[in-house]
Structure 1
């Protein structure tokens, strides 16, 4: 479990919290076995990284991640940091991040500032909103603990949502990750601006119907919804820089 910390600074000269989300892709064979075992073994090393706050180790689903079937080739580390310099330095130089990078065939990290958040993750409020949505690309993260008795009903909605997200010309990057298969789900997507993201959320399609079903059925034991400004990125994903056309990492 990530550390349940949330740092506050005095108003006026506060340092803005940075959220990093690092993705690692592993080749078939021993590297994937190593990555799977690190879901448990990496926790003490992550907890000791200087400057790290809340953190989570996540696996992913097959395809673009929006399925209950695990993808043994893609893993992610989400973390909070006191400032951008610390986030960029530690995700590149901390021993545990370097071990992941050496084993992976591809790495990609996003650096973000929280603009809004509601809900909890493992019983704590991990993100510290500091900025209004900017004019550039924005990210949306939803995280939920699904009640076991309704997990199958929830997952029946997900393939339709994934198809709609994938077909939306506005979405620049998307992936589904999670801490525990079937029960702990995180969806993450990047959009060129808040208007494009809001238009998708308002559309009366599979996404809206799934949200109504969740609300009507009280399917989640815990949920969190967060929005971010994208500050920077590093690395590539599927051989490209996903946000370069939006002016990030150009």
Structure 2
């Protein structure tokens, strides 16, 4: 199983094409037999869970088997669209290695062990569907903690992505090592407290946590 995440930044004059693409791209992705799963997502402004969308930045996540070219993964129509309207493309080619949880009631990254002995540079995708009656508690507690991630030891970069603003949220982050990522996630008192609240108060109707090795990063 392989995964690709593409993050694109549109020229300001073409920002509307980013919004439009979320509807149009469903057609070629649906008929692309090379991929197993896809998600078209918007992004937040601050690189993590965020109420404020960045309407010039959008993303696509796909899963597939084997070694495919970018054209085989995304299709020539989508890649040409990005070449015409986007000023920046960042593509992460990933291999899922650890994780738990579901996305749309599916194990979209296959059957993964909860942990491995891998300790190198790592990418992490954390996502959740937030219960509507828990939205206020989620944003009160999670947003302040998430904003501290950028200053954590070992942090490299992150993107806030999501299918539905405020309700279906995810963060994709990259860390120098798994140990440094876990130090932020499980040893910071504020973060530990929020994790306990999410479980005790049942904030999510669905959640997922997946770790990846980065096979390649492509920038255009």
Q: Same fold (TM over 0.5)?
A: yes
Please tell me whether residue 187 in structure 1 is matched to residue 171 in structure 2. yes
* TM-score, L = length of structure 1: 0.81
Q: Which runs of 4+ in 1 moved over 6 A?
A: none
Question: For 1:104 and 1:205, how far apart are their aligned partners in 2?
Answer: 40
> Residues 144 and 224 of structure 1 are in contact (CA less than 8 Å); yes or no, is this contact kept in structure 2?
yes
Question: For 2:164 and 2:139, how far apart are their aligned partners in 1?
Answer: 14
Question: For 2:112 and 2:218, how far apart are their aligned partners in 1?
Answer: 22
Query: C-alpha root-mean-square deviation of aligned residues, in Å?
Result: 1.9
Task: Report the counterpart of residue 103 of structure 1 in structure 2.
Answer: 85
State which of 210, 217, 223 in structure 1 corresponds to 2:207: 223
Task: Report the counterpart of residue 156 of structure 1 in structure 2.
Answer: 140
State which of 50, 56, 60 in structure 2 corresponds to 1:73: 56
SS in 1 for 2:199: helix
More strand as a share of residues: 2
Cα distance, 1:115 vs structure 2:
0.8
Q: 1:212 to 1:27 in 2, by over 3 A?
A: same
State which of 115, 119, 129 in structure 2 corresponds to 1:145: 129
Cα distance, 1:102 vs structure 2:
2.5
Task: Report the counterpart of residue 109 of structure 2 in structure 1.
Answer: 127
Question: What are the ranges of 5 or more consecutive residues in structure 1 without an aligned counterpart?
Answer: 1-16, 237-250
Question: For 2:69 and 2:35, how far apart are their aligned partners in 1?
Answer: 8
* TM-score, L = length of structure 2: 0.91
Please tell me whether residue 59 in structure 1 is matched to residue 42 in structure 2. yes
Q: 1:92 to 1:54 in 2, by over 3 A?
A: closer
Cα distance, 1:135 vs structure 2:
4.7
Larger RCO: 1 or 2 (CA < 8 Å, sep 6+)? 2
Question: What are the ranges of 5 or more consecutive residues in structure 2 without an aligned counterpart?
Answer: none
> Residues 153 and 180 of structure 2 are in contact (CA less than 8 Å); yes or no, is this contact kept in structure 1?
no
Task: Report the counterpart of residue 32 of structure 1 in structure 2.
Answer: 15
Q: How many residues align?
A: 218
